[in-house]
Chains A and B, each alone.
Chain A
């Protein structure tokens, strides 16, 4: 399909493991966002890319969280030494332009469970 694609859809990790979550935005979309959604809560902003530049990473909860988008298309969110409180759905979204106006298209998310 032509939407935002995320993989894996489900990931179970043991505490202390590193995980990598992938996002394929809609082709040509300049802006890319990562959100974290805990059970029963609204999505919370993690980080924002404009092309390959990470312009805002104010929402990343700790230095164990790292995101990249090296060629301005696919993005990877990496979580090192996972902990139980990292369990959540991680949502990726993309927008066509660089400005604030315009629709944000979300993927279906990657559900991370840390045991």
Chain B
């Protein structure tokens, strides 16, 4: 079972950077780290993914520690629309399905 550990909930002030941690201490070399989020009553939405290097796109940045045992998703300037449940997922190349945990419920405070 490809588990990750995330805090159940976090708050962040609007306009500040939201830093969401994820622990994946047993990750193996062929597993990617994926982040999805789910806004209330919608399907999950892809945010970003990475293997070893840090990644950045228009939505977020992903910082992966050198030993790959943990990572942090950064939303640089959080808005109220970023309020959602954020899922950190390990994905093995030989196993196409995403295995979701319970995620972190991020609330952006006005």
A4 CB-CB contact with B under 8 Å: yes
A16 to B104, CA, bound (A): 36
**Number of B interface residues in the complex (CB < 8 A):** 23
Within A3-36, the residues touching B (CB, 8 Å) are 4, 31, 33, 35
Instruction: Give the CA-CA distance A95 to B49 in the complex, in Å.
Output: 15
Query: Could you say which of A4, A42, A45, A105 contacts B102, with CB atoms under 8 Å apart?
Result: A42
Q: How many Å lie between the Cα of A100 and that of B31 in the bound state?
A: 10
Complex CA–CA separation, A91 to B91 (angstroms):
19
The answer for the CA separation of A59 and B1 in the assembled complex, in Å, is: 13
Does A108 interact with chain B (Cβ within 8 Å)? yes
Cross-chain contact of B99 among A45, A48, A104 (Cβ < 8 A) = A45
Flag if A43 contacts B44 (CB, 8 Å): yes
Given contacts A4-B43, A103-B46, A104-B46, contact A42 B93 (CB under 8 A): no
Pick the contact of B97: A56, A98, A108, A109 (CB < 8 A).
Answer: A56
With A4-B43, A42-B87, A42-B103 in contact, do A101 and B97 touch (Cβ < 8 Å)?
no
Contacts known (A99-B93, A100-B92); A91 close to B44, Cβ less than 8 A: yes
State whether A48 touches B96 (Cβ < 8 A).
yes
Query: Is B65 at the interface (CB under 8 A from chain A)?
Result: no
Chain A minimum-CB-distance residue to B105? A40
Query: Which of B's residues lie within 8 Å of A, judged by CB?
Result: 32, 36, 41-46, 85, 87, 91-103
Q: List 19 A-B contacts (CB under 8 A).
A: A4-B43, A31-B96, A33-B98, A42-B85, A42-B87, A43-B44, A45-B97, A48-B97, A99-B96, A100-B32, A100-B95, A101-B32, A101-B93, A103-B46, A104-B36, A106-B43, A106-B44, A106-B45, A107-B43
